[in-house]
Amino acid sequence: MEALEAINQTIQKVLNTTMDSNFQIVREYVCEGCGNKVQVIRTKALLGPNKGEWFESKKGCDCEVIELIQKQQQEAKKSRINRIFEENSLINPALREATFENFEPGEFRLAYEKAKKYVDEFDINKPRNLLFQGTFGTGKSHLSVSIAKALTEKGYTAIFISTPKLLTKIRNTYNKDSEINEEQVINALANADLVVFDDIGAEGIYEENGRISGWALQKLFEIIDQRAGKHNIYTTNLTSAEFERTKELQRIFSRMLMNSEPIIMNGTDYRRRKFLKEAK
Ligand SMILES: [Zn+2]
């Protein structure tokens, strides 16, 4: 019995010595990244082509795992932001590709700079609106799409709405076959960090007989009013005088002016300007 005990102890001693001679703790430190106690260890390869060589490795640091999780969370957030833009935006195909990079400022250098500044200074706690007002085709919508896209890149949720399309979409919810209701359409706009209301008053506010639709103006007011205290961008080719035409239009315009910086863009047709430039 004693003999067996002695043999066991001897085996253990040999094993320990082998372990010690193939395994060294070089140093220990607290990782600044994960806060764990980390051991830097050196191990000797006992097998394989590198047999006898020493390798240094870290034990106890979770930084890589944490980084991987954060990366996955960021990607999930990014795809959520893109989905919100894609699923809720009502945007004309011609504007889909609009960005700051492919905007040609021309005579609208100041408008372009103000739009970029809006993105740079965007602060979720300090809501600010922009009002692009001016003649047809000067690039108001292009700049607004660019802002919305740049903000999604910065991690904010943004939705671009062609206002005439929105009114049509709401009208369509009144069909008995509609799968969504008016409330759902309007609520989808409530929580976005930024909503662009493009082309306010251009179309969609007239009835077939050419009269201004009271219903459309009422809806427009409700939708814009619901976004009070948030970040919004409005574009319109109606002049301030045209907004004076009816009480409802006045009411809408006064909401659009609230907390807004007006950017006037009257001038050469943007599309024509671009064509002229290409033709040179
Ligand atoms: Zn670490």
- The CATH superfamily holding the domain 77-279 is P-loop containing nucleotide triphosphate hydrolases (3.40.50.300)
Q: Are 130 and 113 in contact (CB under 8 A)?
A: no
Query: Could you tell me the distance, in angstroms and rounded to a whole number, from the CA of residue 31 to the centre of ligand 1?
Result: 5
**Which residues touch 99 (CB under 8 Å, ≥6 apart)?**
145, 146, 149, 150
Ligand 1 centroid to residue 72 C-alpha, Å? 18
Domain ranges of the chain: 2-59, 77-279
> Given this model, what pLDDT does residue 274 score?
57
Q: Give the distance (Å) from ligand 1 centre to CA of residue 61.
A: 4
Q: How far is the CA of 56 from the centre of ligand 1 (A)?
A: 16
Distance (angstroms) between ligand 1 centre and the Cα of 29 equals 10
- CA of 25 from ligand 1 middle (Å) equals 17
Q: What is the pTM of this model?
A: 0.77
Q: How far apart are CA 175 and CA 67, in angstroms?
A: 50
Distance 53 CA to ligand 1 centre (A): 26
Mean per-residue pLDDT pooled into runs of 10, the chain (280 residues): 72 60 88 94 88 90 95 95 93 91 93 98 97 92 97 96 92 91 90 95 73 86 94 95 90 95 84 51
pLDDT in tens, 68-87: 999 999 999 999 999 999 99
Q: Identify whether the C-beta of residue 170 lies closer than 8 Å to the C-beta of residue 215.
A: no
- Which CA distances in Å does 142 have to 4, 59, 182? 88, 53, 28
